[in-house]
């Protein structure tokens, strides 16, 4: 009767739907569990495809100023 606790694994990348809704994405391919249950198309976009315009405005200013210094 040992209580074995499993450490939840972090999904390397969330799909667009889960990212937009701030849901826990299971990272399933070709369709994650959330999209599969809802019947939505599941799309994964690489993290580097996000520009600083997706950041909070305060952070976007910091990113732009650091890019200009380079």
User: Is the model's pLDDT at 32 over the cut of 90?
Assistant: yes
Sorted by where each starts, the structural domains of the chain and their CATH numbers stand as 16-69 (4.10.240.10)
User: Is the model's pLDDT at 41 over the cut of 70?
Assistant: yes
Give the predicted TM-score (pTM) of the model: 0.56
User: Helix, strand, or coil here: 8?
Assistant: coil
- pLDDT value at position 50? 55
- pLDDT value at position 20? 96
CB-count burial class (<10 Å; 0-12, 13-18, 19+) for 16: middle
How sure is the predictor about 40, in pLDDT bands with cuts at 50, 70 and 90?
Answer: very high
CB-count burial class (<10 Å; 0-12, 13-18, 19+) for 23: middle
**Within its chain, how far is the Cα of 70 from the centroid?**
28
């Amino acid at each position: 009767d040992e209580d074995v606790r499993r450490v939840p694994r972090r999904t390397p990348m969330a799909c667009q739907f889960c990212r937009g809704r701030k849901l826990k994405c299971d990272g399933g391919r070709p369709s994650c569990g959330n999209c599969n249950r809802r019947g939505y198309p599941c799309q994964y976009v690489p993290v580097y495809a996000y520009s600083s315009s997706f950041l909070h405005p305060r952070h976007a200013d910091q990113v732009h100023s650091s890019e200009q210094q380079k």
